[in-house]
Chains A and B, each alone.
Chain A
């Protein structure tokens, strides 16, 4: 039926549109290549940064009249839209620089990245917040970012910057996905909570553990990656077989696992759940009625490190403003608001953590991690293999 009702201009416009994008891209390249280096942040770059990292800002940036500078920050959906101290910090950026920050919420991280990949070169905004290390390689391969090394990048620790060594993106925060346990449940039974990955296959913890499906949930994927880190690309299958034999339950989403199946928050039957390293402090901060101690704990050896990145979106109409915003995002002023708003750790080494975090969050000494490129190239195969093994 589409013949009759598709608008006659449909295909034509789509075609033209493609040409227009190609032309714009070509133009941008030419402009970029011809313009002189107009950014002033090279002096403060940390030593050892590759020179190619900061391409010159195209002069088109100055096309907007003075006093109406603005920048659009694209973020995932748990980024608060207004009202919080994180938003206040962004307002201070506006006060200090005269650059208005528009916030655009693009869905969860996977959705946001899919959109950015589709619109690479003609982005929805200027800066993107929140691509994590499980998605970083895809973001880089799909060429959604313009390389930029923040002028104040020396506040970032090497173990984070090494993940994007050429300024492909800027690490802004990190957190962990860990096995959480219900303290009261284990206390009532005088059973010690598990200490290691291997403990989870112990009959003492039979039928107590609920995880998310890595095919449909990002904490679920992180936990699968943690097991691959622990047992290796050829050993994790046996571990999961053992977990399955020990009655591990798999559900499709974090919400289901935590709020339906977990014994603490959902009144469910499972005292062990895959959640976040920051879930215990969040349980204190958002407790009803208020409480002073965390009801849940974290099995630190199971933690998989998630590092989140921000980057300048390639094709931005406001590259100078975008770079200023990146600098601000890792500035202490903004970083100090992250912990209690997003429940992540600041990337800035000079930023201090609030007391609630120091008390109840566990920062694992040696968090598990995998090379982003390795994750990207194996993700699909691992998930398929896992599905066959655990759900099949």
Chain B
């Protein structure tokens, strides 16, 4: 497919690409460039680039992200396979739990993750790498799993019949086919771990810094915005190179396949198969549930013993007569849900048309693809501050507009939608489009009838991820000024930043609520996206 030039009419590609291009330009590139133009000085560049610590931090950021990514992929492939291929009880719940772990704010997940670790590993590089792997498992299971579900099973079966063992089937047949999705998942995990902030601060040894942590520190603690902007540029520069490489890699390895709408999942048949599935599911279940259980346990614990007050008092903000916390959890949940709905709508529409445009545009699509990934790798500080100084005068005086928060969330969520959708879209066999054309369909019609239908399922998966990301987003939200009340993650951070056992317990109540909301959301979307599958499973 990569050899064949784009078959789609130019107007189609252009009209699809225009929305994501404008969105990215207005809400990311423009603010980012404005911030650079305003903040970067020659002196700051010299200071930053000649400082030894800059390069130590850059090196640490790069290697820990690389190791985390490789580890996540290696560990994640097996469960991704099992989740894509086999039917078992509690599948949806597990996917929901893993997604919750992925999106929950790291300030609480970090604390919960400590419960998993032996004390000797607390606040070491192993804790950081372990947390990165566990928190990002959902990305591999979702992105690679979605691709795997679409792969025809008969090739694997045929190879097995011809005598290939399980490993040979994987290396020779399955892996080359899922490779684009693996690259896509790896890119996302890399971006997340490269810009890691909360995990580093909570689980890393004191003073451990990624570029992201250093940008935050220079901005908020030292007030050196110029140096922070140079670091943001450096961070984005390194990332752009990595992402560009991965985009090329993903296209180069794309193969046209006869995709099936959905290969049905089946129950494990042989004894060996049953044992294999049981072990994989069991391990995944432990990893997915222990941190969340630790979270829930903390919502009941106070220094003087167990208590349910934080739960029973939830709707009531008056702690003592006349004394209120000033943080309304129910209101925060409402805010978070409202913002998540908008962010998801934006991300699905923009990400959906972007995926179609990228798939249809052939070679030049990679630029849009890379561009849309950039906000994921941009520092939260640059997104928040860029918007602050860009949209500050008529007719663009949008500071503190309520919709800037969902737009900021959508910027981060769009790449997930695109990456989930692209794999299956690119793998659509061109022969099918050709066949449609032979039967007399105009190129645009052939495209609409053949390619577009492959969008819906991955789009649903992308929507669930987008909503979950919005619910848990902390960084960019915390740098945008707000006047309409806090989101759940912000409220959690606030509660855990103040003295008082009731406030601490209530912070963990909110974290538990956020986890539950995410699990429910993922389950709902899973049901929406393939009712047939679930009916079959239910019967």
Interface residues of A (CB under 8 A from B): 1-2, 4-7, 10-11, 13-14, 17-18, 20-21, 74, 77-78, 80-87, 102-108, 110-111, 113-115, 117-119, 122, 124, 135, 138, 142, 213, 215-216, 218, 221, 250-256, 258-260, 264-265, 267, 275-276, 278-279, 282-283, 285-291, 295, 340-341, 343, 379-380, 383, 387, 391
**Which bracket fits the contact residues of B?**
35 or more
| Contacting residue for B37 out of A14, A142, A255, CB 8 A | A14
Contact digits for B307-330, partner A, Cβ 8 Å, 1 yes 0 no: 101100000010110111111100
Do B399 and A124 touch across chains, with their CB atoms under 8 A apart?
A: yes
The chain B residue with its CB closest to the CB of A217 is B221
Name which residue of chain A comes closest to B34, CB basis: A14
The yes or no answer to B244 lying at the interface (CB within 8 A) is yes
B88 smallest CB distance to A (angstroms): 36
Residues from chain A with a CB closer than 8 A to the CB of B303 are 264-265, 267, 295
Shortest Cβ distance from residue A82 to the other chain B in the assembled complex, whole angstroms: 7
Output the nearest chain B residue to A180 by Cβ-Cβ distance: B499
Interface string of B236-255 (1 = CB under 8 A from A): 00001000100000000000
Most buried by B among A5, A10, A11, A78: A5
A295 to B302, CA, bound (A): 13
Within 8 Å CB of B202, what residues of A? 252-253, 256
Check B400–A285 contact: CB distance below 8 A.
no
Contact present for B486 and A108 (CB under 8 Å): no
Contact B481 A105 (CB under 8 A): yes
Given contacts A1-B367, A102-B483, A118-B38, contact A7 B326 (CB under 8 A): no
CB neighbours of A18 from chain B (8 A): 37-38
Collect the chain A residues with CB atoms within 8 Å of residue B389's CB.
Answer: 118-119
Check A215/B367 contact, CB under 8 A, given A81-B485, A117-B225, A391-B207: no
The secondary structure that dominates the B interface is helix
Contact: B223 with A114, CB < 8 Å?
Answer: yes
Q: A110-B223, A111-B479 are in contact. Are A6 and B504 (CB under 8 A)?
A: no
CA distance A356 to B358 in the complex (A): 63
- Other-chain residue from A5, A13, A105, A124 in contact with B388 (beta carbon distance below 8 A): A124
Residues of A within 8 A of B109 (CB): none
Interface string of B179-221 (1 = CB under 8 A from A): 0000000000000000000000110001100000100010111
Q: What's the Cα separation between A356 and B222 when bound, in Å?
A: 35
Chain B residues, CB < 8 A from A255: 107, 496-497
A218: which B residues are within 8 A, CB to CB? Answer: 221
Contact (A254, B497) CB under 8 Å given A107-B481, A288-B502: yes
Q: Which residue from chain B places its CB closest to the CB of A8 in the assembled complex? A: B25
Distance in Å: Cβ of B251 to nearest Cβ of chain A: 15
Considering only CB atoms, which chain B residue lies closest to A81 in the complex? Answer: B485
Other-chain contact of B309, A6, A253, A283, A288 (Cβ < 8 Å) = A288
Which residue in A119, A221, A276, A287 is a CB contact (below 8 Å) of B501? A287
User: Does B24 lie at the interface of the complex (its beta carbon under 8 Å from any beta carbon of A)?
Assistant: yes
The reply to whether A285 and B319 form a contact with Cβ atoms under 8 Å apart is: yes
The answer, among B240, B244, B309, B326, for a CB contact under 8 Å with A81, is B326
The reply to whether A5 and B501 form a contact with Cβ atoms under 8 Å apart is no
Query: Interface centre among B34, B303, B499, by most A CB within 10 Å?
Result: B499
Least Cβ–Cβ distance between A278 and chain B, in angstroms: 8
CA distance A357 to B397 in the complex (A): 43
- What's the Cα separation between A11 and B500 when bound, in Å? 49
Residues of B within 8 A of A113 (CB): 223
A81 touches B486 (CB 8 A): yes
A260 adjacent to B111 (CB under 8 Å) = yes
Apart from A7-B30, A11-B33, A11-B37, what 20 extra A-B contacts exist at CB < 8 Å? A5-B24, A5-B25, A17-B393, A77-B478, A80-B324, A85-B322, A111-B219, A221-B221, A251-B206, A252-B201, A252-B202, A252-B207, A265-B303, A285-B319, A286-B500, A286-B501, A287-B501, A288-B505, A289-B304, A341-B326
A315 CB, min distance to chain B CBs, angstroms: 11
Query: A4–B367 Cα gap in the complex (Å)?
Result: 8
Interface string of B472-497 (1 = CB under 8 A from A): 00000011011101100010001011
Given A5-B29, A124-B388: A285 touches B367 (CB 8 Å cut-off): no
Contact residue among A83, A265, A380 (Cβ-Cβ distance under 8 Å from B222): A380
A77, B498: Cβ atoms closer than 8 Å = no
User: Given A14-B30, A85-B324, A286-B500, A215 and B207 touching (CB < 8 A)?
Assistant: yes
Report whether A138 and B481 are in contact in the complex, using a CB–CB cutoff of 8 Å.
Answer: no
B26 at the interface (CB under 8 A from A): yes
The answer to whether A289 and B307 have CB atoms under 8 Å apart is yes
Complexed CA–CA distance, A387 and B322 (Å) = 44
For the complex, what is the distance from the CA of A286 to the CA of B317, rounded to whole Å? Answer: 11
24 A-B residue pairings within 8 Å (CB atoms): A5-B25, A5-B29, A7-B26, A7-B29, A77-B494, A78-B494, A81-B326, A84-B324, A87-B326, A105-B486, A107-B220, A118-B389, A122-B393, A124-B481, A215-B207, A216-B217, A255-B107, A256-B201, A256-B202, A259-B496, A267-B303, A282-B499, A286-B319, A286-B503
Kindly state whether residue B385 has any CB partner on chain A within 8 Å.
yes
For B21, B107, B497, B503, the residue with the greatest tally of chain A CB atoms inside 10 Å of its CB is B497
Contacts of B499 in A (CB 8 A): 258, 265, 275-276, 278-279, 282-283, 286, 343
Complexed CA–CA distance, A283 and B500 (Å): 5
Tell me if B498 and A78 are in contact (CB < 8 A). Answer: yes
Inter-chain contacts of A4 with B (CB < 8 A): 367
Cβ-based interface call for B368 (8 A)? yes
Option from B223, B385, B485 in Cβ contact (under 8 Å) with A82:
B485
Interface-central residue, A103, A105, A340, by most chain B CB under 10 Å: A105
A108 to B25, CA, bound (A): 29
CA distance A283 to B501 in the complex (A): 7
Q: How far is the CB of B445 from chain A (nearest CB, A)?
A: 29
CA distance A104 to B320 in the complex (A): 27
Which residues of chain B are near A20, meaning CB under 8 Å? 393
CB distance from A20 to the nearest CB of B (A): 6
A7 → chain B closest CB, angstroms = 4
- Contacting residues, chain A, for B494 (C-beta < 8 A): 77-78
On whether the beta carbons of B223 and A252 are closer than 8 Å, the reply is no
Name, among A119, A251, A286, A391, the residue most crowded by chain B CB atoms within 10 Å (CB to CB): A286
**Could you tell me the distance in whole angstroms from the C-beta of B158 to the nearest C-beta in chain A?**
42
Which residues from chain A contact B39 at a C-beta distance below 8 Å? 118
Q: Compute how far the CA of A260 lies from the CA of B299 in the bound complex, rounded to whole angstroms.
A: 14
User: Considering the complex, which residues of chain B in the window 153-191 have a beta carbon less than 8 Å from any beta carbon of chain A?
Assistant: none
Chain A CB within 8 A of B431 CB:
no
Please tell me if the beta carbons of B322 and A282 are within 8 angstroms of each other in the complex.
Answer: no
Given the complex, which residues of B lie within 8 Å of A81, measured CB to CB? 326-327, 485-486
Q: Does residue B278 face the partner (Cβ distance < 8 Å to A)?
A: no
